[in-house]
Amino acid sequence: MAVTVYRTTIWCKHTTSTTTMLADALAPISEAGTNLVITAGHSVAGRKNRTIAVHPLLSRSAVLASRRRGFARSAPVLIVSGDFEIGLGDRIATAVAARGVEVRFVSAMGENNRFVAALGFESDAAARSAAKAIRTVESQKPVHTQRGRPRMIIRSTIDKIVASVSTGGALGPKKKPKTPK
């Protein structure tokens, strides 16, 4: 399973909380004829400040409308998508960290055995480095045991089994049965 990775721009607006803040922010973008794929809002408990994020703004009229409402381009963002897989998020995070890249924010969701995640970075160079790291993450498909619990295929375990078979170990070739005389 390969993950898909592409760089994009998310537009953000920082505002104070009101009951109509989301509707007020999205109305001009909708009027510009934009079909948003991502709309997110978040806040910190106990604070009045809120952030609204939208993606994509593809037309000039949508960009102008969003700027009039206080939206600005965010830091570099990668959109990562693929099939759900046990431990994939951990492997992606480990690969990015191994390159020394700090993730500024992450937002992920999934449906119907697929996931999509947005990862934000401090700079274009950090986003490029993270994209290279994410593309190197290999698939580890779950193997279902008799009890139905998924188990991961671990490369070192497979190597041990192959070595055991080739040297005639416990899993090696069976001894010929003794023939009666």
The reported pLDDT for the residue numbered 160 is 47
Q: Which residues pair with 105 in a beta bridge?
A: 120
pLDDT digits (tens, 9 = 90+) for 76-93: 999 999 888 888 888 999
Reported in sequence order, the residue ranges of 74-138 that DSSP labels E, i.e. its strands, are 77-83, 105-111, 114-120
Supply the DSSP string of 21-35, one letter for each residue.
HHHHHHHHHHHTT--
The reported pLDDT for the residue numbered 151 is 46
The mean of the pLDDT values for the chain is 78
CATH 3.30.2130.10 domain residues, the chain: 4-135
Long-range contacts of 21-26 (CB under 8 A, 24+ apart): 21/50, 21/52, 22/52, 24/69, 25/52, 25/69, 25/70, 25/71, 26/52, 26/54
* CATH placement of domain 4-135: 3.30.2130.10
The reported pLDDT for the residue numbered 57 is 85
The reported pLDDT for the residue numbered 145 is 47
Global pTM reads: 0.66
76 upstream amide cis, omega within 30 of 0:
no
pLDDT digits (tens, 9 = 90+) for 17-53: 777 888 888 888 888 888 888 788 777 788 888 888 8
Q: CA neighbours within 13 Å on the CB side: how many for 148? A: 0
The reported pLDDT for the residue numbered 147 is 52
pLDDT digits (tens, 9 = 90+) for 119-163: 999 999 999 999 999 998 875 555 554 454 444 444 444 444 554
The reported pLDDT for the residue numbered 88 is 87
User: How far apart (Å, rounded) are the C-alpha atoms in residues 129 and 69?
Assistant: 33
The reported pLDDT for the residue numbered 129 is 96
Amino acid at 109: M
Residue pair 96/3 in contact by the 8 Å Cβ criterion: no
